[in-house]
Amino acid sequence: MLKVVALAVIDAVVTQPAITQSGTRTRSSSSSCISSSIVVLVLVVVVVVVVVVVVVVVVVEVVVEVAVVVLVVVIVAVVVVVVVVADIIVVVPMYNLVAVEEVVVEVVVVVQPRLT
């Protein structure tokens, strides 16, 4: 499709008659060659821009997909850590909690008289 459009544009530019100084229309081969080369150059630039845009879109899409995967992995890791910590807290026997409370009370009792 793009090739058909390019050929139609080149054909229209090449076969367009040039206006001379006297006002008559003549076919000028040099101006049509310049015009056709400009059209070809413009078409090449357009094709290159389209290819670059497509490549950038594909790369950005891949980067976004990788970012989503990394985000999901981080969320799963946080959930696993929270579950493991909660499991450890729940599984700790009550006598260990009492022992921890006694240590805290002893530290407070030992430190408090020195502060006053």
Which pLDDT tens digits describe the chain residue by residue (116 residues)?
A: 556 666 665 665 555 555 555 555 555 455 555 555 666 666 777 777 777 777 777 777 777 777 777 777 888 787 777 777 666 655 555 445 555 555 455 544 444 455 55
Q: Give the pLDDT confidence score for residue 53 in this predicted structure.
A: 77
Compute, in degrees rounded to 10, the torsion defined by CA atoms 56, 58, 64, 65.
-160
SS3 state at 19 = strand
Exposed, middle or buried: residue 44 (CB in 10 Å: 0-12, 13-18, 19+)? exposed
Provide the domain count of the chain.
Answer: 1
Range of the structural domain that residue 8 is part of: 2-115
